[in-house]
Structure 1
Amino acid sequence: MQLNIYLISHPIIKLLSSSIVSSNTEKLIAINQYKNLGLLLIYEITRKYIQIQTIYIKNINTYKEISLLKPYQHYYIFTNLQDTYKMLSEIELIVPNIQIFDIEYKNISAIQNDQNLINNFIHYEQTNTQIIILDNVLKESHIIQLIKYLNLYKAIPISRIHIACIACYNHILNIIGMQYPELKIYTTKIIK
């Protein structure tokens, strides 16, 4: 089985990511571009999984229609906030039942010992859970340790784990593909 790589080709996402990767923009503009790119990347991943529940409220002569996210759906973003905080500044506004965990991928023992992470993590069996691992540029294979932790210790199926990044290196995709071929990766650029 082959790794599921979604090379996002939406024109707006391509424009934002190319200016960020080439880093030829002013700092204030770059911050806004990161923020918008973060929103669009999360949108690309969650649009397949978000389910809306429509509620109708009857007034005397009319009906009012309200659309809400189904309450049992949960989205978790695991990321190193030191690197990606600019991308996540407004994520909770568009997806209210999303929870962000600040993780240092390189230190799996810190992940396992982080009681806050373990205690706050909702049991998979009770929810429709989607996990998003977010990184600016996927350039090291330490992310495999986090995937292994989520899969083995939290019993999250690989089909519910997604990786999102602006760019990723081809050799890292090969390493991840050998261990987790059914994993989904969303990126705007693959670097040779």
Structure 2
Amino acid sequence: MKLNIYKISHPILQTLIDNLNKREQSYKHIGFLFIYEIFRKYIEIEKIYIKQVRNIKLIHVINKNKKYFILTNISHTYDMINDIITILPEVHIINVNYQSTNKIEESLKNLRIDVDISKILIIEKITNKDQTIDLIKYLEKKKNLHSKNINIGCIISNEETLNKIGNNYPALKVYTTKIIYKNK
């Protein structure tokens, strides 16, 4: 497996992950911090200098020429992504129905992605099924994306699923906070 796995180990995130079973509210905070940490690498900020009478004012704005997409099943991740619009108003959140390949296709049929200006992030709480692989297959075949342009963010990753993804899409990047290993 040559998969690029990035374990996000921000201290606040790790504290929330350790207490995940004790509080339902945690996914809201975990998701917010988790997505922030992932997008921190991809968001392009431009500096605008405004000349005023006596000084120059500096403003930082997000590059409007870039597009940011989060693909997720909103019914499962709503608590994680609900507040992300407050820090990333430019992000487009797309609901994906994972029930079947046909449902995935139906969910994304109107999605227009320009590889040169788009950043794709698939968000899940736990990766433990082949539904993510089906989504990646669809994005590659129907939307002409290469797996190196797709990123996966999942709070908890299943080792077996990561192995399957790595065998099929070694250029993919996966961001996680915890990997669950199968009992041997």
Using the size of structure 1 for normalisation, the TM-score is 0.88
Matches within 5 A, 1:150-161: 150-161=139-150
Task: Determine the structure 1 residue equivalent to 2:38.
Answer: 45
Task: List alignment gaps of at least 5 residues for structure 1.
Answer: none
Higher normalized helix content (fraction of residues): 1
1:118 alignment partner AA: K
Which residue pairs with 1:11 in the alignment? 11
Is 1:95 matched up with 2:84?
A: no
Residue in 1 that maps onto 2:59: 66
User: Quick one: which of 98, 112, 117 aligns to 1:122?
Assistant: 112
Aligned to 1:108: 101
Structure-2 residue corresponding to 1:190 = 179
**TM-score computed with the length of structure 2 as normaliser:** 0.92
Decide whether aligned partners of structure 1 residues 140 and 123 sit closer, same or farther in structure 2, where only a CA change above 3 A counts.
closer
Query: Matches of 1:113 and 1:169 in 2, distance apart?
Result: 27
Deviation of the 1:89 alpha carbon: 1.1
SS in 1 for 2:75: helix
Instruction: Compute the RMSD of aligned alpha carbons.
Output: 1.5
Of the three residues 133, 138, 141, the one matched with 2:130 is: 141
* % identity of equivalent residues: 40
| Deviation larger for 41-50 or 136-145 | 41-50
Shift of residue 191 of structure 1?
0.5
Aligned length: 181
Aligned pair 1:78/2:71, yes or no?
yes
CA offset digits 1:61-107 (Å, max 9, x no partner): 11111110011111111111111100011111111210111112232
Q: Who is 1:24 aligned against?
A: 22
**Are the aligned partners of 1:124 and 1:155 in contact in 2 as well (CA < 8 Å)?**
no
Q: Which runs of 5+ in 2 are unaligned?
A: none
